[in-house]
Amino acid sequence: MLKNVGIFTAAVAVSLAGCSTKVIEREVIYTPAPQAAAVQAAPATPVVVAAVQPPPLQVESVPPAPSSDAVWIPGYWNWSNDQYVWVPGRYEPARVGYSFVPNRWEHVNGHWQMTGGAWVRR
């Protein structure tokens, strides 16, 4: 009889070994949903306001383009330290799908406000 108990115990041990429960710990990592691709554009320009009308635009000699994809950005009057300061024109590399809107002054509610000076999607 003792022999049969040993066989039974061994059988139970083997069957329980096959049914053992394993605890698997997992680290859950939450990632945010993908966002729409950012459009590369010029950074937002702060609003520039002046109390007096800007001088007429200066006449600039446009030098030869440094490359075939260069875009001429014309000069403009900027408002700095309570006076207008001329910012000369320059070349920038073209941006596919964008056009450059030059800086300009507009009369708004009794003052002058600069707008433009940015790449915009066509």
55 vs 84: CA distance, rounded Å: 8
Q: Measuring CA to CA, which residue among 116, 117, 115, 109 is closest to residue 51? A: 109
pLDDT at 79 over 60: yes
pLDDT at 46 over 70: no
Residue 82 has pLDDT above 50, yes or no: yes
Residue 13: φ, ψ to 5°: -65, -40
Dmax (CA) for the chain in angstroms is 116
Contact status, residue 57 vs residue 76, Cβ threshold 8 Å: yes
Mean predicted confidence (pLDDT) in 38-53: 68
Cβ neighbours of residue 41 closer than 8 Å, sequence gap 6 or more: 98, 118, 119, 120, 121
Distances (CA, A) of 111 to 17, 79, 88, 95, 121: 87, 12, 24, 33, 29
